[in-house]
């Protein structure tokens, strides 16, 4: 006698583990009771034996240990909705994510703060787990499984320092995530990466990849900032020098005016 599966519901049996307690019974008439729960359900069988008034018992317990998305929820099919901004915070917004059913991916958008719809999530992993059938392949519930994944740079244009685990060389390494689309092998800091993945090993002969240093954009920004500072300093110096020269010029004119009458007095007197 095997456990029967529960009817379709949010919690399903991607992985199930069953135990049976079985006693000797005949093929006599059976009466069945089925009790369903959220994660565990039990089937109890009371089997008539050859001895009148006595029963043998068969109990099957099935525990369901993972969540499977059976179909895309209705709210995941809603269009992106930025909402409306409160009058007091008209210039404020939040970066949220919405599920794009056509691409089966989650993308960021600016949420204005009020209204909108249910297709709005704070994290990409939550968005994918709620809406995508491939969520377990990208953001597994057992997060240590993601330590075997290749790093995913993403599809946006930002530069955010994150960490990924290299299972071949057993190291947590830095990389620059673009800000959207990726996988579970992405951590906010080195400590979180180590806590999830330390000790996990994959066989391979790939050369170890160098970690990125300071981003090129940051280097260019610093260089341009220094260059701009030098140019501004030179301009200020030239302006100051020009003002000094301008202040000195009237003194020479005044002196010339004072000297001229003295030189011309003899002529006028003659």
Per-residue pLDDT, 20: 40
- Condensed to tens digits (0 to 9), the pLDDT of residues 206-225 reads 777 777 665 555 555 555 66
Rg (CA), the chain: 38
The band of 232, judged by pLDDT with boundaries at 50, 70 and 90, is confident
> For all residues of the chain together, what is the average pLDDT?
71
The band of 27, judged by pLDDT with boundaries at 50, 70 and 90, is very low
Report how far apart, in Å, the C-alpha atoms of 183 and of each of 91, 98, 180, 188, 255 are.
32, 16, 10, 13, 81
What residue spans define the domains of the chain? Answer: 16-64, 79-139, 143-225
Per-residue pLDDT, 208: 73
The reply to whether 143-225 shares the fold of 79-139 is yes
Q: Three-class SS of residue 111?
A: strand
Q: Which residue has the tokens 């008209």?
A: 90
Q: Output 22 or 243, whichever has higher pLDDT.
A: 243
Q: Output 226 or 252, whichever has higher pLDDT.
A: 226
Asked whether the beta carbons of 68 and 14 are under 8 A apart, the reply is yes
Element containing residue 166 per DSSP (H, E): strand 160-166
CATH of 143-225, one of 3.30.360.10, 3.40.640.10, 4.10.410.10, 1.20.1250.20: 4.10.410.10
Q: Which residue has the tokens 């947590």?
A: 172
- How is domain 79-139 classified at the CATH fold level? Factor Xa Inhibitor (4.10.410)
Per-residue pLDDT, 120: 95
What is the C-alpha separation between 259 and 102, in angstroms, rounded? 91
Per-residue pLDDT, 223: 53
- Condensed to tens digits (0 to 9), the pLDDT of residues 148-170 reads 999 999 999 999 999 999 999 99
Per-residue pLDDT, 212: 67
Question: Mean pLDDT lowest for which of 8-17, 42-51, 94-103, 213-222?
Answer: 8-17
pLDDT at 36 over 50: no
pLDDT at 77 over 60: yes
| 175-214 burial: b if 16+ Cβ within 10 Å, else e | bbbebbbbbbbbbeeeeebeebbeeeeeeeeeeeeeeeee
Per-residue pLDDT, 105: 95
Chain-centre distance for alpha carbon 71: 23
pLDDT at 103 over 90: yes
What are the CB-based long-range contacts (under 8 Å, 24+) for 46-50? 49/25, 50/26
Q: Which residue has the tokens 């030189």?
A: 263
What are the CB-based long-range contacts (under 8 Å, 24+) for 208-211? 208/166, 208/168, 208/169, 209/166, 209/173, 211/173, 211/174, 211/175
Per-residue pLDDT, 240: 73
What is the C-alpha separation between 168 and 6, in angstroms, rounded? 41
pLDDT at 203 over 60: yes
Nearest CA among 167, 162, 252 for reference residue 204: 167
Beta bridge partners of 17: 63
Q: Three-class SS of residue 150?
A: coil
% of the chain at pLDDT higher than 90: 42
The band of 38, judged by pLDDT with boundaries at 50, 70 and 90, is very low
Residues in the chain: 270
């Amino acid at each position: 006698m095997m456990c029967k599966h529960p009817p379709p519901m949010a919690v399903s049996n991607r992985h199930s583990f069953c135990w049976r307690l079985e006693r000797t019974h005949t093929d006599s008439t059976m009466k069945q009771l089925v009790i369903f729960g959220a994660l565990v359900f039990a089937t109890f069988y009371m089997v008539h034996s050859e001895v009148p008034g006595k029963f043998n018992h068969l109990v099957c317990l099935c525990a369901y240990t993972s969540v499977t998305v059976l179909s895309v929820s209705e709210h995941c099919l809603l269009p992106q909705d930025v909402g409306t901004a409160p009058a007091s915070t008209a210039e404020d917004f939040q970066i949220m994510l919405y599920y794009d059913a056509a691409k089966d991916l989650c993308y960021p958008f600016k949420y204005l703060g009020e209204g909108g719809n249910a297709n709005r999530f704070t994290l990409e992993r939550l968005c994918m787990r709620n809406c995508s059938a491939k969520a377990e392949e990208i953001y597994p519930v057992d997060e240590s499984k993601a330590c075997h994944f290749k790093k995913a740079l993403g599809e946006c244009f930002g530069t955010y320092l994150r960490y990924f685990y290299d299972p071949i060389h057993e190291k947590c390494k830095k990389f620059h995530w673009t800000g959207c689309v990726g996988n579970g092998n992405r951590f906010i800091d080195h400590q979180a990466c180590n806590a999830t993945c330390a000790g996990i090993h994959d066989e391979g002969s790939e050369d170890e990849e160098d970690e990125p240093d300071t981003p090129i954009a940051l280097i260019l920004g610093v260089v341009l900032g220094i260059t701009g500072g030098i140019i501004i300093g030179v301009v200020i110096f030239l302006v100051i020098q020009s003002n000094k020269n301008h202040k000195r010029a009237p003194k020479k004119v005044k002196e010339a005016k004072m000297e001229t009458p003295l030189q011309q007095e003899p002529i006028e007197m003659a």
